[in-house]
């Protein structure tokens, strides 16, 4: 039996409906890298839009200037847009310079620059949704990567189907099925040569860890890992709601300064306490990544094990009987 192209499109439709990703009348901007995932995203959304109640408003491609083939990727995306009769916005950004200027890793800088570009382009084109091409493989890789780094429930919840106006319709489809879909519809894509670099932790998981897990389980582990992440997200959402309520009850927010009462924190259950600390740090982080290790560092300050600590975006100290978070400017290099 041949590969079922229609089944892939219907799978994407079910994901969109289950999570309410594209309400009636939506105009969606598609982030296009030129890789198989994003090209499949464009093609499946166009197929669904023919008989749906949303519109593909256009495409957006950001040249990160990180690879020798980056200009070729941009040219490919432009040609694809012409062939599909879709408008496209193409911009270039020196991500390496942005990382140096703002004291960020290349990966973090690329993510921040990319999403800022997508949000800016969505506003300019009148789109109310931004679709990006994360797949079930990305979900499994993210889960394992965060597990190895000792993440809690927040991290192990993995990639969310929707964050703000950003949606991920391909999260329930594997990369292999998307590539088979593209081959069957006669579509091409570009390969990112950096994906083969096993010095990158995510690539090691992709090329070494996941195949070993599949062999041990005698089946693909991507669906089961994705299911575990979904269950964790459900628990995490409930804890997040409780944590926001607790933060509102015990925090004093004054612009770039947040104060928390140590006694109130001590009387808060540990899972909620950690999330309250995360909430305080994230409010001052200006988009920088805040994680488990930063929570541990703040807990050390709270326990009197150290006088103060710098976390992404802020300085945390005990001052005047309060745990104080003071926003700091990003370091310049």
Query: Residues with Cβ < 8 Å from 94, sequence gap 6 or more?
Result: 65
pLDDT at 2 over 70: no
User: In 168-313, at which residue ranges do the beta strands (DSSP E only) sit?
Assistant: 251-254, 257-260, 308-311
Instruction: Provide, rounded to the nearest whole percent, the portion of the chain with pLDDT above 70.
Output: 98
Integer angstrom CA distances of residue 203 from 193, 194, 207:
11, 9, 6
Among 59-68, 151-160, 267-276, the minimum mean pLDDT is found in: 151-160
Element (DSSP H or E) covering residue 250 = helix 222-250
Of 174, 209, 225, the residue that ends a domain is 225
Among 90-99, 144-153, 185-194, the minimum mean pLDDT is found in: 144-153
- pLDDT of 132: 98
Asked whether residue 104 falls in the same domain as residue 55, the answer is yes
Domain count, the chain: 2
Give the Cα separation of 302 and 308 in Å (integer): 9
- pLDDT of 305: 80
Asked whether residue 220 falls in the same domain as residue 259, the answer is no
pLDDT at 3 over 80: no
Give the Cα separation of 181 and 188 in Å (integer): 11
Asked whether residue 219 falls in the same domain as residue 91, the answer is yes
Of 207, 225, 243, the residue that ends a domain is 225
**Domain annotation covers residue 237:** no
Asked whether residue 191 falls in the same domain as residue 265, the answer is no
Asked whether residue 280 falls in the same domain as residue 187, the answer is no
Give the Cα separation of 269 and 277 in Å (integer): 12
pLDDT in tens, 12-55: 999 999 999 999 999 999 999 999 999 999 999 999 999 889 99
pLDDT at 88 over 70: yes
pLDDT in tens, 128-161: 999 999 999 999 999 999 999 888 888 899 999 9
Q: How confident is the model at residue 105 (pLDDT cuts 50, 70, 90)?
A: confident
- Which residues sit opposite 317 in a β-bridge? 308, 324
CATH of the domain at 297: 3.30.465
CATH of the domain at 19: 3.40.50.620
- pLDDT of 333: 43
What token pair was written down for 94?
């020196």
- pLDDT of 330: 62
Domain extent, residue 288, equals 255-327
Asked whether residue 99 falls in the same domain as residue 155, the answer is yes
What token pair was written down for 213?
């897990």
Asked whether residue 265 falls in the same domain as residue 157, the answer is no
Is the distance from CB of 60 to CB of 89 less than 8 angstroms? yes
Our CA angle for 66, 82, 86, nearest 5°, is: 95
Q: Could you tell me how far CA 240 lies from the centroid of its own chain?
A: 18
- pLDDT of 292: 82
**Domain annotation covers residue 118:** yes
* DSSP-assigned states of every residue in 153-176: HHHHT-S-SEETTEE-TTTTS-HH
Asked whether residue 108 falls in the same domain as residue 23, the answer is yes
- Mean pLDDT of the residues in the chain: 93
pLDDT in tens, 201-233: 999 999 999 999 999 999 999 999 999 999 999
Asked whether residue 130 falls in the same domain as residue 184, the answer is yes
**Domain annotation covers residue 240:** no
**Domain annotation covers residue 29:** yes
**Domain annotation covers residue 305:** yes
Question: DSSP label at 323?
Answer: E
Mean pLDDT of 270-296: 91
Asked whether residue 208 falls in the same domain as residue 289, the answer is no
Of 206, 225, 244, the residue that ends a domain is 225
Asked whether residue 209 falls in the same domain as residue 143, the answer is yes
Q: How confident is the model at residue 1 (pLDDT cuts 50, 70, 90)?
A: very low
Give the Cα separation of 194 and 66 in Å (integer): 10
Query: Residues with Cβ < 8 Å from 5, sequence gap 6 or more?
Result: 181, 184, 185
- pLDDT of 103: 84
**Domain annotation covers residue 231:** no
**Domain annotation covers residue 242:** no
**Domain annotation covers residue 290:** yes
Query: Residues with Cβ < 8 Å from 207, sequence gap 6 or more?
Result: 196, 198
Asked whether residue 59 falls in the same domain as residue 16, the answer is yes
Burial class (CB in 10 A: 0-12, 13-18, 19+), 312: buried
């Amino acid at each position: 039996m041949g590969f079922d192209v229609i089944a892939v499109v219907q799978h994407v439709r079910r994901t969109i409906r289950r999570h309410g990703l594209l309400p009636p009348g939506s105009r969606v901007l598609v982030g296009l890298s030129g890789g198989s995932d994003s090209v499949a995203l464009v093609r499946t959304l166009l197929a669904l839009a023919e008989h749906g109640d949303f519109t593909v408003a256009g495409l957006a491609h950001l040249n990160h200037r990180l690879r020798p083939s980056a200009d070729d990727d941009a040219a490919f995306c432009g040609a694809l847009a012409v062939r599909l009769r879709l408008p496209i916005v193409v911009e270039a950004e020196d991500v390496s310079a942005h990382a140096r200027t703002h004291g960020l890793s290349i990966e973090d800088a690329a993510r921040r620059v990319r999403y800022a570009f997508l949000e800016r382009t969505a506003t300019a084109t009148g789109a109310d949704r931004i679709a990006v091409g994360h797949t079930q493989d990305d979900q499994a890789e993210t889960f394992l990567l965060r597990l190895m780094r000792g993440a809690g429930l927040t991290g192990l919840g993995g990639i969310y189907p929707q964050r703000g106006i950003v949606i991920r319709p391909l999260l329930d489809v594997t990369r292999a099925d998307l590539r088979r879909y593209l081959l069957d519809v006669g579509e091409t894509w570009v390969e990112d040569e950096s994906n083969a670099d096993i010095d990158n932790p995510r690539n090691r998981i992709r090329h070494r860890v996941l195949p070993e897990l599949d062999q041990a389980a005698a089946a693909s582990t991507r669906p089961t890992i994705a299911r575990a992440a979904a269950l964790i997200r459900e628990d995490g959402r409930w804890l997040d709601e409780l944590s926001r309520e607790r933060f509102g009850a015990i925090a004093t927010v004054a612009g770039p300064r947040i104060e928390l009462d140590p006694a109130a924190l001590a009387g808060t259950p540990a899972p909620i306490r950690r999330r309250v600390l995360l909430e305080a740090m994230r409010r001052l982080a200006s988009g920088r990544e805040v994680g488990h290790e930063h929570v541990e560092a703040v807990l050390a300050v709270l326990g009197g094990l150290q006088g103060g600590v710098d976390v992404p975006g802020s300085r945390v100290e005990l001052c005047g009987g309060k745990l104080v978070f003071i926003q700091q400017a990003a370091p310049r290099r």
